[in-house]
Structure 1
Amino acid sequence: MKAWGVPGYTETRELGSGASGRVVLAVHDGTGTPVAVKYLSDRLRSDPAFVQGFRAEARLLGGLRSPYVVGLYEYVEAPDGAAIVMELVDGIALRELLKQSGQTGPEAALVVLKGSLLGLAAAHRAGVVHRDYKPENVLVAADGSSKLVDFGIATDHGATPGVAGTPAYMAPEQWQGRPASPAADVYAATATFFECLTGRKPYPGQNFAELALQHVEAPVPESEAPEPVRPLIRRGLAKRPEERPEDAEAFVAELEAVACSAYGPDWEEHGQRKLAALAALLPLLFPSAGGSPATATAFATTSLWAPGRRGWLGTGVALVLGLLVVLTQAAATDRTGGAAALSSFATTSAAPPTGGPAPSGTASGSPSASASPGASGSPSASPSASVSASAGASPGPGSSGTAVPPGPQPTPAPPTTPPPSPSPSPGVKVRSVSVTSFRQSDFTAAQVSLAVDASGPATVRLEWFSSDARGTLGASEGSMSFPSSTAATARTLTFRGGGCYWGVRATTTPAAGNGAAVQQFLIRRCEIR
């Protein structure tokens, strides 16, 4: 059956997709105006929380009139689907530029920071905190101008929606679940600015707990940035929100003073030219180029240190548990002071490589690229009334219907089962089998990796289950067998049951000394309220 489309628009191609939706390039039939349409996943339309969050995102975009934020044309709800129709920006994500070049140089980094801060300033004036500023959500147009996209988990200033965001860019107060404030967006913008300057994130933590501790306690790494811009790094990454600029607009004033003093009155022109040159190296990623779509939702697998390590952790664990889901492990290997494995949905939507700029009046004059299709980690609270709003010059008549959660994505194909491995050699001894990674990768899929300690070739049997109870594997969802030599290879498991807990069990032939490895976690659909 053909997927639902917004009436009055002809879809050209897909720009990007994520766990909860997709963004497509389309043309308004009446005017020929190119637009970006963000569709809500069919799988999420029955979830009121996701519907409310998707509707809130459209309402927020409709209220922001800034050349530095992607513009809303209309929000459409109907019995068969929901979509946000946005202005199309012919640009690429800052993340792609950093992948290509490693770093941008000081003047270009300052241009990126200023453009997206001006987008944040529009939100802050409206009483909204973005909460997920990162390179994926900053778009660079062909002329070097930059714009902010993706308000999937934005919330009201002062609200306490819980721990949410992208770990590498979250302010200390975000980790602690404190009320949302513009100072948290200033922190995330500065972390991205640092990455543009140095080619790496401010803190190198390899898991959720390490990042939390570093963002809360580690010194600001200002010495790694060029000396002229260190005051901006020091101010923007201050541990206490009251020590940072109070909002994005205040930070722009500080940025301009530092930039002019360090790089002269033409710094912005020079920086914009540098960004344009970097963007020109990636022509196939622009919407106008017709490149391949890309997935755009990030997840994090984390390890939480054992309680008692540093006084802060006891409080941090209680706060982070609002976001994390605990994995149980039945055949746990002995580890002194060992860490409990955890899997979490740690971010929201990520801008498609061709997504997201601003409304009419953009400083660059370029068309705008759209926001990303990723999932909202913590949908913003909003009234349940449906929205059919327009911002700027709408390309066509508005529509109405009913809302659904952020962005659709095709159901992943069932995992392919490798051919059975040959019978184990006589005398092979399997000392242990363990689950090294198990996390949700989509709303019907998870990824798992194993480790097998054996003296020779063995066969691994992996089974997966869904259940409504923690500690009980429940109904079988599938199984596969493969050689122990490939156990570390990540495998995608498809879950079609309705349980809130997903689990796996791994056994070997010959039998492992520890019998089996079992893990289980609570899925996001049941975690998000």
Structure 2
Amino acid sequence: MNTWGVPGYTESLELGAGASGRVVLAVHEETGVPVAVKYLSESLRTRPGFVHDFRAEARLLAGLESPYVAGLYEYVESPDGAAIVMELVDGVSLRALLRREGPLGPEAALVVLKGSLLGLADAHRVGVVHRDYKPENVLVARDGSSKLVDFGIAVDSGSSAGVAGTPSYMAPEQWTGAPASPAADVYAATATFFECLTGRKPYTGENLAELALQHVDAPVPADEAPEAVRDLVRRGLAKDPGERPARAEDLLAELESAAGAAYGPDWEERGRGRLAALVALLPLLLPSARQAPRGTADTARTVLGRRPRRAVAVPGRGCRAGPGCSCRPPPCSSPPS
């Protein structure tokens, strides 16, 4: 197992792991700011193309300014490893809430959808398609707000990047490898919204072929959703991308209208309160509740750029994520002199 760690950070524990790598909780030693460090797995780091894609994820995040997306602090690469240092969201995944609670209720489901749609909308405005919107990639914070994470397979809108995504949330056109479009993200967000409302995914299958056929041909199960939001589900899960809201901000406008008409002007406050109460039931899953950090001793050549109008930069480090990258360091605990 590779024990390389990003210099300048003190790590404590693993927050999650998968085939592509792992995410650990760490603290930036100079400022004391807690961060999440995403390491590319050792097996992928030695295979052609994967480091390039990892750099591309960092470059994409560096160009995306949004309070609804977990932000990039720096991209770090050396002969011993590669890592993305990101904003730490002190929250739990939407998947964890659904696993514990099942259906969240319409107001809470609308609040989750709104928060993450705001993140998608900011991505779509700069020409980025997420391609992997799902409950695992939405984090709900203590106050009931939500953020979108994991742009690992995101691409520029219009790119022909092949078939990619999580099958239960993939739009019909994603199964055919059509060029990436914001409408596919709208579909995935609506599929997740449906799951928040009903406790189940909109389509199931015994295998990938059957699941694909369901997404492509099966009727939209809008009647299983509360009546007030059926049109949102029906339009967001339309088979033809031309019949869906074209971008996240279009679905967001429809959401605001439907929610206000059905649940009154205080719907968002009630929904956020409900989500905050659910997060409070899972305190041990919050990063802030984890054990104190421990040190790491490994060193390597690192990279760190600076983003304009951001506080603090570490001297002597330049970004190697590629031309145009504008990584930023964690914010100072006090304003810079």
Q: TM-score range by the shorter chain?
A: 0.7 to 0.9
* Deviation, structure 1 residue 17: 1.2
The 8 Å contact of residues 235 and 244 in structure 2, kept in 1 or not, is answered as: yes
Aligned-residue identity in percent: 73
**Map of 1:422 onto structure 2:** none
Within the alignment, does 1:273 sit opposite 2:273 as a pair? yes
CA distance in 2, matches of 1:110, 1:211: 26
CA distance in 2, matches of 1:161, 1:48: 16
Letter in 2 for 1:280: A
Secondary structure of the residue aligned to 2:161 is coil
**Map of 2:189 onto structure 1:** 189
Within the alignment, does 1:52 sit opposite 2:52 as a pair? yes
Q: Which has the higher helix share?
A: 2
Letter in 2 for 1:191: A
* Deviation, structure 1 residue 388: 4.1
Letter in 1 for 2:113: L
**Map of 2:120 onto structure 1:** 120
5 Å matches for 1:40-439? 40-290=40-290, 388-390=304-306, 393=310, 397=314, 399=317
User: Per-residue CA shift, 1:171-211, capped at 9, x if unaligned?
Assistant: 00001111110000000000000000000000121210111
* Deviation, structure 1 residue 393: 4.1
Gaps of 5+ in 2: 292-301, 322-337
5 Å matches for 1:478-489? none
Letter in 2 for 1:397: V
Cα 1:224/1:2, change in 2 over 3 Å: closer
The 8 Å contact of residues 26 and 34 in structure 2, kept in 1 or not, is answered as: yes
* Deviation, structure 1 residue 48: 2.8
Q: TM-score, normalised by structure 1?
A: 0.56
**Map of 1:408 onto structure 2:** none
User: Per-residue CA shift, 1:444-478, capped at 9, x if unaligned?
Assistant: xxxxxxxxxxxxxxxxxxxxxxxxxxxxxxxxxxx
Cα 1:105/1:39, change in 2 over 3 Å: same
CA distance in 2, matches of 1:12, 1:402: 26
**Which region of structure 1 is more displaced relative to structure 2, 35-44 or 56-65?**
35-44
The 8 Å contact of residues 33 and 395 in structure 1, kept in 2 or not, is answered as: no
Secondary structure of the residue aligned to 2:85 is strand
**Which region of structure 1 is more displaced relative to structure 2, 118-127 or 45-54?**
45-54
CA distance in 2, matches of 1:390, 1:64: 14
5 Å matches for 1:443-458? none
CA distance in 1, matches of 2:195, 2:164: 21
Q: TM-score, normalised by structure 2?
A: 0.88
**Which region of structure 1 is more displaced relative to structure 2, 74-83 or 104-113?**
74-83
* Deviation, structure 1 residue 42: 2.0
CA distance in 1, matches of 2:306, 2:318: 12
CA distance in 2, matches of 1:394, 1:46: 35
The 8 Å contact of residues 305 and 318 in structure 2, kept in 1 or not, is answered as: no
**Map of 1:310 onto structure 2:** none
Letter in 2 for 1:35: V
CA distance in 1, matches of 2:285, 2:310: 27
The 8 Å contact of residues 306 and 313 in structure 2, kept in 1 or not, is answered as: no
Gaps of 5+ in 1: 292-385, 404-529
Cα 1:387/1:189, change in 2 over 3 Å: farther
CA distance in 2, matches of 1:162, 1:264: 43
What is the root-mean-square deviation in Å for CA atoms of aligned residues?
1.9
**Map of 1:374 onto structure 2:** none
Secondary structure of the residue aligned to 1:39 is strand
Letter in 2 for 1:235: R
Q: Which has the higher strand share?
A: 1
* Deviation, structure 1 residue 216: 0.4
Cα 1:167/1:92, change in 2 over 3 Å: same
Within the alignment, does 1:15 sit opposite 2:15 as a pair? yes
5 Å matches for 1:508-519? none
**How many equivalent residue pairs?**
309
Within the alignment, does 1:37 sit opposite 2:42 as a pair? no
The 8 Å contact of residues 36 and 85 in structure 2, kept in 1 or not, is answered as: yes
CA distance in 1, matches of 2:224, 2:162: 32
* Deviation, structure 1 residue 14: 1.4
Cα 1:267/1:225, change in 2 over 3 Å: same
* Deviation, structure 1 residue 397: 2.1
**Which region of structure 1 is more displaced relative to structure 2, 240-249 or 11-20?**
11-20
Cα 1:254/1:387, change in 2 over 3 Å: farther
Larger Rg: 1
Structure 1 outlier segments of 4+, above 6 Å: none
* Deviation, structure 1 residue 395: 6.6
Letter in 1 for 2:139: L
CA distance in 2, matches of 1:387, 1:27: 17
